[in-house]
Amino acid sequence: MKGSLNVRKGSGKASCRRKLDAALPILLQAVELDNAGSLEAVTAYREVVRLFDDAIEILKSRHQKPNAKRDAVETSLRDLGSSGLAIAGLPGASL
């Protein structure tokens, strides 16, 4: 497709922002092709959908990656809660 941006340039996977930035001119081109009645619009729309899907997957994977600092804080809070219950003599915790 003419004017298609290569978002796979550079090292590593393109960021979500780069995927979305790349999709915009392709979407504009797709609309122009669609208005002109060209079947090439379908290919352009598919490319835009692929870029949006890639961006969504990047966002999903970012939020699924373990975060060591967050995990350490959560563990510390659980430990504090358990030891606090045990000190108070409440059921559900042990030292």
Measured between alpha carbons, how far is residue 48 from residues 10, 35, 55 in Å?
20, 17, 11
Helices (H), 1-95: 16-35, 40-64, 68-87
| Per-residue pLDDT tens over the stretch 19-78 | 999 999 999 999 999 999 999 999 999 999 999 999 998 888 877 767 777 677 777 777
Task: State the Cα–Cα distance between residues 51 and 20, nearest whole angstrom.
Answer: 7
Domain that holds residue 11: 1-64
Quote the tokens at residue 30. 């797709």
Question: Do residues 44 and 55 share a domain?
Answer: yes
pLDDT at 18: 94
Read off the pTM.
Answer: 0.56
Question: Do residues 54 and 83 share a domain?
Answer: no
Task: State the Cα–Cα distance between residues 53 and 16, nearest whole angstrom.
Answer: 10
Question: Do residues 28 and 40 share a domain?
Answer: yes
Question: Do residues 76 and 38 share a domain?
Answer: no
